[in-house]
Structure 1
Amino acid sequence: MKIGILQTGHSPDELTDKFGEYDEMFRTLLDGNGFEYETFSVVDQKFPQSVDDADGWIITGSRHGAYEDHPWIPPLEDLIRDIQQSGKPLIGVCFGHQIIAQALGGTVEKFKGGWAVGRTEYDFDGHKVSLNAWHQDQVVELPDGAQVLGTNDFCKNAMLSYGDTIWTVQAHPEFSNGFVEGLMQTRGKGVVPDDLMQDAASRQDASNSNPEIARYMADFLKKARA
């Protein structure tokens, strides 16, 4: 099965040697599932020719806002709607979660409650999971047909599905604890409140649910559909 990775941002230059680019993090996360991959750096306006260039799709995170005025955002929204119409599986993570909701009629905005950073717990499918978060923007109004699968008190629309072909998550199952520590040093200072980063740093030695969510994502992509 070929997975097309729609890369919507770049890892900080200071961290790429150790942790890789965003598309590489997904390849690592989903390793062992027999997928082949092709990356399309849509943030650099490099788009696939059609939805048929892959059997399933993933949209990465980004430092950009879904609501910002960038020339690559409208064609990405068009592609999202085309993928939905095609019936191919699509997964969105953080920015990917947000841009899918926006493309399908929802609303994304800079959340008045501030930032979520580091290891964060969510109610998902009847139990607790812990994932690394790094966001201020949130999906605040759902598109028609969206179903909430994961939530917490800070982010009520943390995991969404659209039928059986689209699944999205606000947090980052592809981010290791070490990468989040690096983000605090490279992108957090002067942007994220110091007390939030200190609190996040105190939780970063704990385990997370990345392997569980990776299995869920792989099963979702492989799922037989009519």
Structure 2
Amino acid sequence: MKLTIIQTGDVPLPLRGDFGPYPQMFERMLDGTGESFAYEVVRAHDGEPLPDPATLGGILITGSAAGVYDDLPWLEPLRGFIRDAYAKNTSMLGICFGHQIMADALGGDVRKSEKGWGLGRHAYAVKGRPAFMSGAKETLAVACSHQDQVIVAPKVAEVILASDFTPNAGLMYQNGKALSFQPHPEFADDYTAALAELRRGKAPDALVNEAVASVSKESDSDVVAGYIARFLVAGA
């Protein structure tokens, strides 16, 4: 299927040479699932025009350093694009900032969390099992890097992943064609650790140390990638 990646941010400059851009991370992730995808990238954060969602096979909205509350000229067009895609039942996936802007556009509340930084590999309880997650185990461990959170989920969404730190970590929407996750299944372990180190001085050292150590624990990112691929292919 053809997947349109809506890029909303760039890999931090100090890490860009070693890890490449976000769209390539998603392409590697999805290509590893065994499903067949073709890709196009729209750099929304650079002002590239957003296409008509009705013409798209599927949509993936990436992470970003931006917050949904920021005064940026590309955010309102993106909200309109999300609402249009939802109304037209185009398959749509959001990750991290993508998760947050989808919730924001569709009636949720997104803010900078008082809990501070979420870094490294976190464990999330599975609260719902849509068809593409049939047989999912009780918890899934996936990398994260965020301060903002969906504080209140939209009324049209069901929480399917949750943790004490991130109660609304995974959302499945009522139209069956929209899905979003706060954590990053596309992050490789070395990038997760490097990104946590980059937060040193902004996040407490103890938290950074714990985040770097957490990548030695078992990861379920490949499992979540498989769920995502099945969701996208089923909705195409």
Common fold: TM-score over 0.5:
yes
C-alpha distance in 2 between matches for 1:189 and 1:47? 36
1:10-49 alignment, distance < 5 Å:
10-31=10-31, 32-49=34-51
* TM-score under structure 1 length normalisation: 0.95
The match for 1:172 among 180, 184, 200 is 184
Given residue 187 of structure 2, which amino acid in structure 1 is its aligned partner? Answer: F
Given residue 76 of structure 1, which amino acid in structure 2 is its aligned partner? Answer: L
Task: Note the alpha carbon deviations across 1:111-142, whole angstroms, 9 max, x for none.
Answer: 11111110100012451110001011100112
C-alpha distance in 2 between matches for 1:54 and 1:3? 7
Given residue 16 of structure 2, which amino acid in structure 1 is its aligned partner? Answer: T
1:213 is matched with 224
2:2 is matched with 2
Please, which moves more after superposition, 144-153 or 14-23? 14-23
Given residue 157 of structure 1, which amino acid in structure 2 is its aligned partner? Answer: N
C-alpha distance in 1 between matches for 2:148 and 2:62? 15
Tell me if the contact between 2:107 and 2:154 (Cα under 8 Å) persists in the aligned partners: yes
Task: Note the alpha carbon deviations across 1:25-78, whole angstroms, 9 max, x for none.
Answer: 000000032110100010111133311442000000011111111100000000
Task: Note the alpha carbon deviations across 1:80-130, whole angstroms, 9 max, x for none.
Answer: 001001111100000000000000111100111111110100012451110
1:199 is matched with 210
The match for 1:147 among 158, 178, 181 is 158
2:132 is matched with none
Q: Secondary structure at the match of 2:48?
A: coil
C-alpha distance in 1 between matches for 2:235 and 2:91? 10
Tell me if the contact between 1:107 and 1:139 (Cα under 8 Å) persists in the aligned partners: yes
RMSD: 1.3
C-alpha distance in 2 between matches for 1:50 and 1:88? 10
Say how many residue pairs are matched: 224
2:121 is matched with 119
Q: Secondary structure at the match of 2:71?
A: coil
* C-alpha deviation, 1:224, in angstroms: 4.8
C-alpha distance in 2 between matches for 1:74 and 1:82? 12
Please, which moves more after superposition, 82-91 or 189-198? 189-198
Tell me if the contact between 1:114 and 1:136 (Cα under 8 Å) persists in the aligned partners: yes
Structure 1: which 5+ residue stretches go unaligned? none
Q: Secondary structure at the match of 2:186?
A: coil
Instruction: Determine whether 1:161 maps to 2:172.
Output: yes
Please, which moves more after superposition, 102-111 or 126-135? 126-135
Tell me if the contact between 1:58 and 1:91 (Cα under 8 Å) persists in the aligned partners: yes
